[in-house]
Each structure stands twice: as structure tokens, then as C-alpha cells.
């Protein structure tokens, strides 16, 4: 089983940024020490209320983590590509890949339905799902083509490269084909540098719905999903597998799929539940209408949560269905083994930032997990 982890941050608790940077470095060093494959940095913007107080630049954070570690890979979970210019993302990830000599996993997403999307690009506003999805797919298409094509052109709904009618004004530049027409118009570009990994870094898409899993499977992208119940994961993994195999890829269930779980590991179950309860309840909220839909989505298709599910604390619901892995090394290992046996679970990404945990608690949980859980699932 492959183990990755998101960097630690302080949701809901205003924290000096220089302190978070230092903590991220220490957390990543410990992940590397206990055998994790990739350190992922999530990206959010404009959170004045500290609800999602992680880095606004996951690419730059990846570079910092890579410079303070030796071999662990660095990933973005995600780069919200509708909010950024796709050619600049292609350049930034490619130079990061060269700087790290191929230690990059490229993670992308459409972004969440939050205040920032429309501030960066009108079509990135998630309130218009169709438009946002189209922009996301176009941006990802542009990035991959920019990495793999020496003579690059693109014409889409949102972007056209090169800009039509642009002519060179610098007399030193040679107006040679295939990049210029005889009259000096720029008709193609070459986006540099190309990535260190060939043809490009692995592409991982953050997903939530079964349809998104199927999209990744059909396109050959890795999928990073959010924790569900065992049967919910089975549905998602099956959607990915069936879409991939329809394109002739012949994958096994669970292959090329990662799943993020909120994880808190302690020496006793009582300690784990006590430390995690308040943060889980605060993070997911308790508004009843939202609660019913969210809890059903975490189970399986058309699931109807029972009265106990609907009336219990979020922490009790999440722990009951093993959607949050809160417990001892033995209890967490038991559930991972069941996932492995039932759905060929191959790739866990720790999402450790349960609100209100201290950095000391997060480091203790990671060390306990890394020394007492990880070795049980590695050859």
C-alpha cells in the first residue's frame, strides 16, 4: 500500500504564516522518515476567517518542501487550475519538476464552491457548474499539450494560442517557421521548459462524484477521492475501473486511485476520540438539511442514513463508518486491511488537519501511524 500525506495546517485557528511554513517543513521531514511517498499541499484562497487557512500557492509550497527534504515527492492537492492561467501553470510545474529532478505529482481540481473562484476568472465561478467544468477541462488539456508539443497551438472556448493577429516587433527575433508566418505573424509557440519526467509528471485529479471518477478513468488520470464508507469506495473505484477498461487499460479494482482520510492516531481509543471530536464536529457542521445529503453521499448510492446516523454527532457518524480513521494503530490497521481485502485499496492519503489539533498532537499522530501502521502494509 502507498502512503501519502497532506501537510499540516490550522483550519479555524488564525496562525502566523511563518510558523505554518516551519511546521510544514518539519511535518514533511517526518513523512519522509517514516516512508511516505508524496507530501501534498492543499491550496485555498481568500479565507479571512481561517476556515481553510492553508497555502494560497501549492506549487511554491511544493518547492519549499522539496528543498527541505531529500527524496519524498511533492504534490498539489490541488492546483485549482480554472483560477490560473494554464500556460503559467504548465511553466511553473515544469520548472518545479526540473528543479526536483522528477519528484513532482501534479494534482488539479476545479476548486470548491467558494468566494475566490470568480475573483480570478469569471468562468471559474463554481455556481455555474457547466461553465466551470468546461474551463477546467480546457485548462488541463492546454497544460498537457504545452508539455508534450514543441510546436504548440490551441483554439478553445476560453483560450486561443497564439493570440490571433499578433506580430513580432523586436527586430532581433528571427521570423522563422514554424512559429511565424511569412508576414511575421506569430502562429505557434513553444512552452518551455518541458518537464523532467517524460512525457510529464503524473496527473492526479481531486474528485468527489462517481462521474468524476469515471472521467479520470477514461482519461488515464489518477483520482484523489474523499473518504467514504467501504461500500461508497467500492462504487467509486468501480466507476473508475469500468471507465478505464472501456478505453482498453485493463486495470484492477482500486488501481490508480487514492483516497484522503482524516486521520488521528493515538495510544488509546478514548484519547483519539477525545482529541478529534470537537474538530470533526466543527469542520462538518450540524445543519440538518445539509447533514442528511452529506452523510448519504459518504455512504453509497441511494443510501438512507438511519436515525442514529442523522442524530449523532458528526464525529460519531464518521468514526462509526470508518470515514474518519480515528483510533489506535490496531483499530486503524484493521480497517485498512478490510479495505485492502474488500476493494483492493492501494493508496491512502492522510488528511491530518482535524481542526483544533496542536502541531504536537499532529506530529505525535503521524509518528505513531508511520511507525506502527505503515510497516504492516509494506513489503
Does residue 300 fall inside a structural domain? Answer: no
219 closest CA partner among 148, 137, 103: 137
Identify whether residues 128 and 256 lie together within a single domain: yes
CA count, 13 A, side-chain hemisphere, 21: 11
Predicted local confidence at residue 305, as pLDDT? 75
Helical (H) or strand (E) element with 226? strand 222-226
Q: Is the peptide bond before 206 cis (omega within 30 degrees of 0)?
A: no
For 345, the domain range is 2-148+192-285+321-377
Helical (H) or strand (E) element with 133? helix 129-148
Does residue 299 fall inside a structural domain? Answer: no
Identify whether residues 37 and 118 lie together within a single domain: yes
Distance of CA 367 to the CA centre of its chain: 22
Residue 132 CB neighbours (<10 A): 21
Identify whether residues 142 and 210 lie together within a single domain: yes
Predicted local confidence at residue 50, as pLDDT? 67
Does residue 308 fall inside a structural domain? Answer: no
Does residue 335 fall inside a structural domain? Answer: yes
Does residue 19 fall inside a structural domain? Answer: yes
Residue 326's DSSP bridge partners are 264
Count of structural domains, the chain: 2
Identify whether residues 329 and 272 lie together within a single domain: yes
Task: State the angle between helix axes of 359-372 and 17-33 in degrees (0 to 180), rounded to the nearest 10.
Answer: 10
Identify whether residues 8 and 106 lie together within a single domain: yes
Task: Considering only residues 103 and 172, tell me which one the structure prediction assigns the higher pLDDT.
Answer: 103
257 closest CA partner among 275, 279, 235, 272: 235
Task: Give tens-digit pLDDT for 185-215.
Answer: 999 999 999 999 999 999 999 998 999 999 9
29 closest CA partner among 60, 70, 86: 70
Identify whether residues 35 and 78 lie together within a single domain: yes
Task: Considering only residues 26 and 14, tell me which one the structure prediction assigns the higher pLDDT.
Answer: 26
Does residue 40 fall inside a structural domain? Answer: yes
Mean local confidence (pLDDT), 253-282: 96
Q: Helix, strand, coil: what percent of the chain each, to 5?
A: 45, 15, 40
User: Could you tell me which residues come within 8 angstroms of residue 282 by beta carbon, excluding any fewer than 6 positions away?
Assistant: 12, 355, 356
CB 65 within 8 A of CB 24: yes
- Residue 357 binned pLDDT confidence (cut-offs 50, 70, 90): very high
Task: Give tens-digit pLDDT for 131-160.
Answer: 999 999 999 999 999 999 999 999 999 999
What's this model's pTM, rounded to 2 decimal places? 0.93
CATH code of 50's domain = 3.20.20.30
Predicted local confidence at residue 113, as pLDDT? 66
Predicted local confidence at residue 224, as pLDDT? 97
Does residue 56 fall inside a structural domain? Answer: yes
Task: Give tens-digit pLDDT for 11-21.
Answer: 888 889 999 99
Does residue 256 fall inside a structural domain? Answer: yes
CA count, 13 A, side-chain hemisphere, 315: 19
Q: Of the residues 140, 174, 189, which one is the last residue of a structural domain? A: 189
Longest dimension (CA), the chain: 76
CB 351 within 8 A of CB 8: no
Mean local confidence (pLDDT), 270-290: 82
The CA R_g of the chain, rounded to the nearest whole Å, is 22
Task: Give tens-digit pLDDT for 39-63.
Answer: 999 887 777 676 667 888 999 999 9
Predicted local confidence at residue 301, as pLDDT? 67
C-alpha cell, 23: 511546521
C-alpha cell, 78: 490541488
Q: Please report the DSSP string for 63-115 in residue order.
A: HHHHHT-SS-EEEES-EEGGGS-HHHHHHHHHHHHHHTTS-EEEEEE---SST
Amino acid at each position: 500500500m502507498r502512503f501519502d500525506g497532506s501537510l499540516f495546517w490550522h483550519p479555524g485557528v488564525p496562525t502566523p504564516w511563518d510558523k505554518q511554513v516551519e511546521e510544514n517543513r518539519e511535518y514533511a521531514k517526518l513523512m519522509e522518515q517514516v516512508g511516505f511517498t508524496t507530501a501534498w499541499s492543499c491550496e485555498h484562497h481568500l479565507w479571512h476567517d481561517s476556515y481553510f487557512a492553508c497555502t494560497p500557492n501549492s506549487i511554491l509550497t511544493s518547492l519549499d518542501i522539496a528543498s527541505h527534504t531529500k527524496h519524498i515527492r511533492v504534490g498539489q492537492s490541488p492546483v485549482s487550475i480554472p483560477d490560473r492561467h494554464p500556460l503559467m501553470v504548465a511553466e511553473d510545474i515544469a520548472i518545479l519538476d526540473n528543479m526536483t529532478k522528477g519528484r513532482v505529482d501534479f494534482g488539479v481540481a476545479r476548486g470548491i464552491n467558494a468566494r475566490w473562484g470568480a475573483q480570478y476568472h469569471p468562468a471559474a465561478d463554481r455556481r455555474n457548474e457547466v461553465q466551470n467544468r468546461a474551463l477546467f477541462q480546457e485548462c488541463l488539456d492546454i497544460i498537457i499539450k504545452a508539455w508534450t508539443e514543441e510546436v504548440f497551438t490551441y483554439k478553445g472556448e476560453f483560450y486561443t494560442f497564439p493570440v490571433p493577429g499578433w506580430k513580432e516587433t523586436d527586430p532581433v527575433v528571427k521570423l522563422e517557421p514554424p512559429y511565424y508566418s511569412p508576414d511575421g505573424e506569430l502562429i505557434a509557440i513553444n512552452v518551455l521548459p518541458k518537464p523532467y519526467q517524460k512525457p510529464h509528471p503524473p496527473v492526479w485529479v481531486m474528485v468527489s462524484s462517481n462521474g468524476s471518477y469515471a472521467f479520470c478513468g477514461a482519461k488515464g488520470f489518477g483520482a484523489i477521492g474523499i473518504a467514504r464508507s467501504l461500500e461508497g469506495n467500492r462504487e467509486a473505484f468501480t466507476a473508475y475501473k469500468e471507465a478505464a477498461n472501456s478505453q482498453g487499460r485493463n486495470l484492477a479494482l482500486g488501481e490508480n486511485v487514492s483516497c484522503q482520510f482524516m486521520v488521528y492516531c493515538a495510544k488509546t481509543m478514548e484519547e483519539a476520540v477525545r482529541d478529534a471530536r470537537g474538530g470533526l464536529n466543527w469542520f462538518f457542521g450540524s445543519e440538518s438539511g445539509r447533514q442528511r445529503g452529506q452523510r448519504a453521499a459518504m455512504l453509497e448510492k441511494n443510501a438512507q442514513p438511519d436515525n442514529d446516523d442523522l442524530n449523532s454527532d458528526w464525529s460519531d457518524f464518521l468514526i462509526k463508518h470508518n470515514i474518519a480513521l480515528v483510533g489506535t494503530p490496531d483499530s486503524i490497521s484493521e480497517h485498512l486491511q478490510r479495505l485492502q481485502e474488500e476493494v483492493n485499496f492501494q493508496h491512502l492519503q492522510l488528511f491530518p488537519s482535524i481542526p483544533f489539533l496542536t502541531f504536537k498532537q499532529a506530529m505525535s499522530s503521524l509518528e505513531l501511524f508511520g511507525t506502527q501502521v505503515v510497516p504492516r502494509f509494506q513489503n
